[in-house]
Amino acid sequence: MRSRKQSLRVLHVCSEIFPYLKTGGLADVTAALPAALSRAGCDVRMLVPGFPDLVKHIRNKHLVAELPPRFGAQAVRLIYGILPETGLSAYYIEAPGLYDRPGNPYIDIYGQSYGDNHRRFALLGWMSARLVEGFDFFWRPRIVHGHDWHSGLAFAYIRALEWSKSRHLAGTVFTIHNMAYQGNFSGSVFGELDLPSWMYSPEGVEFYGQVSFLKTGLAYAGKINTVSPTYAREIHGGEQACGLGGIVWRRDGDLSGILNGIDTDTWNPAADPVLATTYNARSITGKKQCRLALQQEMGLRSPNSGPLFCVVSRFASQKGLHLVLGAMEQIRKKGGQIIIVGSGEHYLEQAFSDYAGRYPQQAAVRIGYDEALAHRVIAGSDVIMVPSRYEPCGLTQFYGLRYGTLPLVHRVGGLADSVTDCTPETLLEKTATGFVFEHFDQSAMTDAVNRAFDLFATPAQWRSVQRQGMKQKLDWKRAAREYKALYNAVLPANRIS
């Protein structure tokens, strides 16, 4: 048996974990990456806010520490337990009044950000530093790995702690899943954060007169990474930098890109319990049955000889879905069909639904969030479209590859790093996995859709590209190795324990 004593103790700090609480791909990553690191020999624990959807699933709870009121909570407790699906250990922060609210983790039931989000997520960061300080006598992290702005202040609290003790206590890694979500608050809240005043500077927490959680992580984490190599380059300037290009350049030597993996157990066409039938790369006939079953479920005409396109996505401006809207008529007129699953911007919900209302045999739309439906749609479709304006990594193109559903993507961020365009050369070399378009405009999208129709008309070639996609190694092993290398690069040199 592996000796736990020698394992590297890593604390992952985040605000959502699949399948308990998920608003996007972040939750998929914070479920699967820690589990992969654990399999790779790390001693991993999670630290999360005590959101009811997380707390109700955590088993074998026991109290680690009890603290006086802080950050607006009437009491603060640190509780330890086990996440049943992965068996991972998790600390959560119980803070009555702070986390136990209806709505999602960040916004209330009216869609407004909670007014005290700076305190709610400051407490998460503050608690990371307390664990580094030794709050849990039995387990002290040597690495703190935070995800997105929610964890950003952890790096300031840890830096402040180390400054006060004049010692390097823990290595720190900050993963940016999306530069556009920054956790910016009025500069006037700085006084509520319990940070040394010298940190309120352009080199630290301050961002044009505001407190920025994301910038804080960028400023104080030992190493920073984004979720794909291309996105790591893109955030140095222009629109993608979201105003933070200066600090990104300043930290360039510590910045890298590590492409996400996917949970190949959850996303496995050979054993997916929600599909009409299972299939694999060698025997793909089951996919045809999945397609028929899906067409029936969605009320589409079946059989239908043209390709079936799908989208499974948040309807946010990031996702470039106006290009899909603009391609629907083209798809229908050429004899294809389209299924859209998602929710978000109202005008898109309305426009997609109107179109499906007009052509119910060729287009179907489901507004909402439905995990099982997402599996069935991806399995039953021929093409999955991800035409994002920008995309730090993106996961649904990977799900498409795994399910023999060719991704059609804009060449940006992680999409550029994960899909190989069908060209005469790549088809010949058998490296093609999907359709990639260069310019973010309707004519490039139209061209990509036309190319999908053309390839679909040559079944042998289609089959070969499908097989190539299904063969890709998409699990978390490679990324886990790369994260371990980052951890080793930031480990405190002289810490005993």
Which residues sit at the interface with ligand GLC, rule CB under 6 A? 24-26, 29, 177-178, 227, 260, 391-395, 414
Would you count residue 394 as binding ligand ADP (CB under 6 A)? yes
Shortest reach from residue 391's CB to ligand ADP, in Å: 7
**Residues β-bridged to residue 400:** none
Q: Tokens 């407190």 appear where?
A: 211
Shortest reach from residue 263's CB to ligand GLC, in Å: 12
Question: Which one among 312, 416, 465, 480 touches ligand ADP, defined by CB under 6 A?
Answer: 312
Smaller CB separation from ligand GLC, 180 or 444: 180
Backbone angles phi, psi at 10, to 5 degrees: -120, 125
Which of 321, 396, 319 minimizes the C-alpha distance to 351?
321
- What span, in angstroms and rounded, lies between the C-alpha atoms of 22 and 401? 22
Shortest reach from residue 496's CB to ligand ADP, in Å: 40
Shortest reach from residue 150's CB to ligand GLC, in Å: 12
Residue nearest to ligand ADP (CB): 25
Would you count residue 396 as binding ligand ADP (CB under 6 A)? yes
Shortest reach from residue 30's CB to ligand ADP, in Å: 11
Name the token pair of 227.
């979720």
Shortest reach from residue 257's CB to ligand GLC, in Å: 11
Cβ–Cβ under 8 Å, residues 214 and 182: yes
The total number of residues shown for the chain amounts to 497
For residue 267, the SS3 value is coil
- What span, in angstroms and rounded, lies between the C-alpha atoms of 384 and 381? 7
Shortest reach from residue 26's CB to ligand ADP, in Å: 6
- What span, in angstroms and rounded, lies between the C-alpha atoms of 117 and 123? 10
CB atoms within 10 A of CB 122: 28
Would you count residue 370 as binding ligand ADP (CB under 6 A)? yes
CA angle 238–241–243, rounded 5-degree value = 95
Question: Among ligand ADP, ligand GLC, none, what binds residue 227 when CB lies within 5 to 8 Å by partner kind?
Answer: ligand GLC
- What span, in angstroms and rounded, lies between the C-alpha atoms of 383 and 77? 48
Q: Tokens 């991972």 appear where?
A: 88
* Four-point Cα dihedral 73, 75, 79, 84, nearest 10: -50
Would you count residue 265 as binding ligand ADP (CB under 6 A)? no
Question: Among ligand GLC, ligand ADP, none, what binds residue 58 when CB lies within 5 to 8 Å by partner kind?
Answer: none
Shortest reach from residue 348's CB to ligand GLC, in Å: 17
Burial 47-71 (b: 16+ CB within 10 A, else e): bbbbbeebbebbeeeeebbebeebb
- What span, in angstroms and rounded, lies between the C-alpha atoms of 248 and 308? 41
Question: Among ligand ADP, ligand GLC, none, what binds residue 341 when CB lies within 5 to 8 Å by partner kind?
Answer: ligand ADP
Would you count residue 21 as binding ligand ADP (CB under 6 A)? no
Smaller CB separation from ligand GLC, 178 or 466: 178
Shortest reach from residue 25's CB to ligand ADP, in Å: 2
CA angle 163–212–393, rounded 5-degree value = 105
Would you count residue 418 as binding ligand ADP (CB under 6 A)? no
Would you count residue 243 as binding ligand ADP (CB under 6 A)? no
- Considering only residues 314 to 353 of the shown chain, the ones binding ligand ADP according to CB under 6 A are 314, 341-343
Smaller CB separation from ligand GLC, 162 or 391: 391
Would you count residue 195 as binding ligand ADP (CB under 6 A)? no
* Four-point Cα dihedral 245, 251, 253, 255, nearest 10: -70
Smaller CB separation from ligand ADP, 26 or 351: 26
- What span, in angstroms and rounded, lies between the C-alpha atoms of 312 and 434? 17
Q: Where are any strands of DSSP class E within 333-482? A: 337-344, 363-367, 383-386, 406-410, 435-437
Smaller CB separation from ligand ADP, 178 or 216: 178
Question: Which one among 156, 221, 308, 374 touches ligand ADP, defined by CB under 6 A?
Answer: 374
Shortest reach from residue 347's CB to ligand ADP, in Å: 17
Question: Which one among 9, 11, 14, 28 touches ligand ADP, defined by CB under 6 A?
Answer: 28
Smaller CB separation from ligand ADP, 133 or 370: 370
Cβ–Cβ under 8 Å, residues 44 and 10: yes
Q: What separation in angstroms does the CA of 29 have from each of 15, 33, 273? A: 12, 6, 21
Smaller CB separation from ligand ADP, 151 or 210: 151
Q: How far apart are the first and last CA of the chain?
A: 21
Smaller CB separation from ligand GLC, 26 or 465: 26
Smaller CB separation from ligand ADP, 17 or 395: 395
Region of 42-50, 326-334, 370-378, 421-429 interacting with ligand ADP (CB under 6 A): 370-378
Question: Among ligand GLC, ligand ADP, none, what binds residue 337 when CB lies within 5 to 8 Å by partner kind?
Answer: none
Q: Would you tell me which residues interact with ligand ADP (CB under 6 A)?
A: 24-26, 28, 312-314, 341-343, 369-371, 374, 393-396
